[in-house]
Every structure is written in C-alpha cells, then in structure tokens.
Amino acid sequence: MTGLDIRIVERALQFKTPAGTSRGVMTDKPSFYVIARDLEEDGRIGIGECSLIPGLSPESEMRARLELKKLAASGALDPKSMSLQYPAVRFAAETALIDLLSEGDRTLFPGPFTEGRPVPINGLIWMGDVADMVAQAESLLERGFDTLKMKVGALDFERELECLSAIRAMAPAGEITLRLDANGGLDDEDLSITLGKLERLARFDIHSMEQPIRPGQWKKMQAVCIGSDIPIALDEELIGVHDTDLRRNLLHIVKPHYIILKPSLIGGLVEANHWIDLAAEVEAGWWATSALESNIGLNAIAQWAADAIAEEANPMPQGLGTGSLFTNNLPSPLVVAGGTLRLDQPEAQANGTLRTWDLSDLLG
C-alpha cells in the first residue's frame, strides 16, 4: 500500500519488576511503533509494533531503527517485499497494514476474540530464587491459571527440582499443566547428561520442554526428541530459518512434538501460518507466545491466534499473558482474567472493534 505518511515512535518499555531469563535480567526493552496514515482515505491510521528482545531478536536496536527509518521514507507498506532478516520490522509493517485496511480500528481479525471469546493462556513464572518462583506460581494459581510455564536451565539444577517439587505440591498434575522453557540451558556436550536431566524433570509430569539445547544442532535435537521423557517444543530453533525447504527439512529431521511461534522473531503472522502448515506434515502441535510486545503487538497476535484456534474444541493455551509487565504500556481493553486473555470493554465487544484504545500519547 502506497501514498502513506509513516511515522516511527520509539518507546523503551519499562518492566515493573526485573525480568529474569536464562539470557540475563531485563529492566527495560526497546520497542518502536509504525504509525501509517492514509493520505487519501480521510486520514485513517494503522499502527504496528516492532518489539525487540536484546540478545534474541535477529535485528539489533540500531539496525531496527535504520530499517524503520527507510520504511518511513518509502511511504509504503509492503511486508512481502521486506527482508526476513529483520522479522520484528516486518511484523510491525504487516500489522500496521492489516490495521490500516481494517480502517484503523485495531480489529485485525474480526471474529471470536473481538466478539468476546477469551483466549486461554499460560501463566509465566519468571526466574528468581526458589521462594520467589514458588510465590509466583501460587499467585498465578490464585488468579485462575490452570497452565503454568516455568523457566529452567539458569539456576542450580537441584534447586530447580526443589522448586518444581514445591509447585507440584500445590498444583497437582491432574489439575494443573506445567510447561518448562530452558532457552538452550540444558545443553551439554554429553547428550546423556541432557537426557538425564530431562528424565528427572519428567517425574513432575511435564507437558513440554521448550528448546532444551541451543539452536542449530538439528541431529542432536533429533536425538533429544527421540530420547526425552518430556515432549520437546522448538522455539529459538525457528529463528532465522526462512527458506521453505530449510524449514521443512528442520521439522522432518528433528520431528518435534510442538513448535512455538513468536511472530516478531520469525517475520510476522503470514510466516507463522506457514510454519503451522509445515508442522502439520510431521504432526507437531503449536502455540503462540509474545516477544514481550506492548498491548499493540499483543493485540495483533491475540486476534490472530484466536482466529487460528477458533474451530478447536480444546485449544492449546497460548503464551500471551505479558500485557501487565510494563509500567508504561498503552492502555487497552485487553485483560487477563481466569487464565484467559479477553476484551473487557463493553463498547468494544458490542461493536466488534477496539476503538476505545487510548493512543493519544503515540499520535500526539
């Protein structure tokens, strides 16, 4: 789409509490907003978000800023022509375009989510000491989550087992689903050590383990998938794999049980759909997670995911409960309640739009 006035607004999102991951602790993260105004259609506006996770996103903050500047100068939104080397920038352009074509009301995928149907999500336990992680789990259970995701691989392994034991004591396996995410933190030159850890973790009735070893080791990951007592999900493994044949080869060699889709890290929603189609060839399931977007990007992913799982009787909980992480997030009708993400604005549910969003601090 051409003939646009495109503006880039930069905002560092501030975490309410430091966010601990296997890659370190974050207190803030860079984000950019693509604001496209159609000069020929009554000035309607579309907004997309470029969300970066330093150390994980393929594009650096400096590169993203440069590519977004080029996008603004072009006066056009044509995601298909944009390089997948910069997936967060492409996701921002893609969602800004979809929003613009929906007349800027943030109803990207009219359907179940905008009609009030909630999306099931998991509660996320951030890395900390054992007492802190157990307290997080207790809080999430009190808030109605029946699926919890815990980060592992960065602390002393025995301490992590101690934490899981405490969590399972108050979250029985028959009632609460536990997912684990290692971010490559269980990798060891000796494969038997990795498999031994997975065997010990499996005693806690674990639903899945995301990315137990570092990406790029397809044959080793294949061996992990074969030998693991826990179903394996690929996450970082998908980043930077752009070619269709390469994607197919990855999935057919590794044969994971699940894939994790972060649109900001793989190039957008169209690319996520492509991964889903390829995963079906090896009977791998999927769910979506955020790349710690603000409510702009989170809304886009939630609407897409709700549309994608609309026909499923028991949809997989998504990893989209990140909207309350930041002190300076954009106000929106997105609400986490009872282990789900939903719209909580009566007028938004009544007319199927998100026109109630307060974007004044972005639009000026």
Distance CA 194, CA 214 (A): 12
Residue in 29, 149, 151, 197 annotated catalytic = 151
One-letter amino acid for residue 51 of the chain: S
Distance CA 21, CA 132 (A): 14
- Is 262 catalytic? The answer is yes
One-letter amino acid for residue 189 of the chain: E
- 316 φ, ψ (degrees, to nearest 5): -70, 130
- Is 29 catalytic? The answer is no
- Could you tell me if 332 and 133 are in contact, meaning their C-beta atoms sit under 8 angstroms apart? no
Please, which residues bridge with residue 232 across strands? 209
Any long-range contacts for 333-336 (C-beta under 8 Å, 24+ apart)?
Answer: 333/357, 334/295, 334/298, 334/299, 334/302, 336/121, 336/143
Residue in 29, 149, 197, 262 annotated catalytic = 262
- Could you tell me if 13 and 294 are in contact, meaning their C-beta atoms sit under 8 angstroms apart? yes
The beta strands (E) that lie in the chain are given as 4-21, 24-38, 45-51, 119-120, 123-125, 147-151, 177-181, 206-210, 232-234, 258-261, 285-288, 334-337, 340-343
Q: What totals of helices (H) and strands (E) does the chain contain, helices first?
A: 12, 13
Burial class (CB in 10 A: 0-12, 13-18, 19+), 60: middle
- CA angle at residue 297 from 296 to 302, to 5 degrees? 105
Instruction: At 238, list the tokens.
Output: 């998908």
Which residues are within 8 A (CB) of 93 and not within 5 positions of it... i.e. 6 or more apart?
34, 48, 71, 77, 78, 79, 82
Give the residue numbers marked as catalytic.
Answer: 151, 262
